[in-house]
Amino acid sequence: SSRVVQIQSQMSERAVELLGLPQDRACLLLDVGCGSGLSGDYISEEGHYWIGLDISPAMLDVAVEREVEGDLLLADVGHGIPFRPGMFDGCISISAVQWLCNADKKSHSPPKRLYRFFSTLYTALARGSRAVLQLYPENSEQLELITAQAMRAGFTGGMVVDYPNSAKAKKFFLCLFVGTSGTLPKGLGTECASEELQQAKFTNERTRFRNVKGKSVKKSRDWILEKKERRRRQGKEVRADTKYTGRKRRPHF
Q: Are residues 17 and 111 located together in one domain of the fold?
A: yes
pLDDT value at residue 51:
98
Closest CA to 91 of 32, 153, 136: 32
Assess whether 125 and 47 both reside in one domain.
yes
Q: What pLDDT is attached to residue 80? A: 95
Is 209 domain-assigned?
A: no
Domain for residue 115, yes or no?
yes
- Asked whether residue 246 falls in the same domain as residue 167, the answer is no
Q: Is residue 213 part of a domain?
A: no
Residues 100 and 5 in one domain: yes
pLDDT tens for each residue of the chain, 253 residues long: 788 888 888 999 999 999 999 888 999 999 999 999 999 999 999 999 999 999 999 999 999 999 999 999 999 999 999 999 999 999 999 999 999 998 766 667 899 999 999 999 999 999 999 999 999 988 889 999 999 999 999 999 999 999 999 888 899 999 999 987 678 888 888 765 444 433 333 333 343 445 555 667 777 888 788 888 877 777 778 888 887 788 777 777 6
Domain range enclosing 33: 1-178
Same domain assignment for residues 151 and 233: no
175, 184 contact by CB (below 8 A): yes
48 and 104 share a domain?
A: yes
- Give the total number of structural domains in the chain: 2
d(CA 213, CA 71): 26
Distance CA 47, CA 152 (A): 33
List C-alpha distances in Å: 54 to 80, 93, 125, 222.
12, 10, 18, 31
d(CA 95, CA 206): 34
Residue 211 lies in a domain: no
Residues 6+ apart with CB under 8 A from 94: 8, 11, 12, 15, 33, 35, 38, 39, 134
Whole-angstrom Cα distance, residue 111 to residue 145?
7
pTM of the model: 0.74
Contacts by 47-55 with C-beta closer than 8 Å and gap 24+?
A: 48/16, 48/21, 51/83, 51/88, 53/77, 53/81
Instruction: Give the CATH number, domain containing residue 165.
Output: 3.40.50.150
Residue 190 lies in a domain: no
**Would residue 244 count as lying in a domain?**
yes
Residue 199, domain member (yes or no): no
- The answer to whether residues 70 and 127 belong to one domain is yes
CB proximity list for 99: less than 8 A, separation 6 or greater: 33
Q: Do residue 169 and residue 243 come from a single domain?
A: no
Q: Which of 178, 206, 233 is the last residue of a domain?
A: 178
> In the beta sheet, which residues pair with residue 177?
130, 156
Report d(CA 183, CA 150) in Å as an integer.
Answer: 17
Residue 208 lies in a domain: no
Same-domain pairing of 159 and 52:
yes
Whether 148 and 235 map to the same domain: the answer is no
Same domain? For 166 and 245 the reply is no
Do 142 and 73 belong to one domain?
A: yes
DSSP state of 10: H
Backbone angles phi, psi at 173, to 5 degrees: -125, 115
